[in-house]
Amino acid sequence: MNDEQLNNLFAAARRAQPDTARVERGFETRLLARLRAERAAAVPWFVWTWRLAPLFAVIVIALGIWNYASSGNPLAELTTDYSGEAALVVMLTGD
């Protein structure tokens, strides 16, 4: 096949108008129905993470309050720790 024949075939292909009447009919409806079906079938995992984020925030806050409430008086614990160390120093040095 020479260049002239090939150019004629390309020109004929450019001039030919494809029949798209069957494809265009109801295209939007079919496309939207397919998108809705795909969206309903597969729920991504990140949707659940955003739905559970408030629950995890409440759990973190509750654990923080529980930790703070159960720690007692930190100054009292510090003085008892220091008094034990002072007794050890007195026992070892004799002062």
pLDDT digits (tens, 9 = 90+) for 6-28: 999 999 988 888 777 777 778 88
Q: Is the pLDDT of residue 47 over 70?
A: yes
Q: Around Cβ 38, how many Cβ atoms within 10 Å? A: 9
How high does pLDDT run on average in the chain? Answer: 81
In the block, residue with structure tokens 């160390």: 85
What would the mean pLDDT of 85-92 be, rounded to a whole number? 76
Question: CA-to-CA distance for 86 and 93, rounded, in angstroms?
Answer: 11
pLDDT of residue 29: 86
Q: How many domains does the chain have?
A: 1
Higher pLDDT, 86 or 52: 52
The domain containing residue 76 runs over which residues? 3-93
Question: CA-to-CA distance for 95 and 89, rounded, in angstroms?
Answer: 8
This prediction has a pTM of 0.37
Farthest CA pair distance, the chain? 115
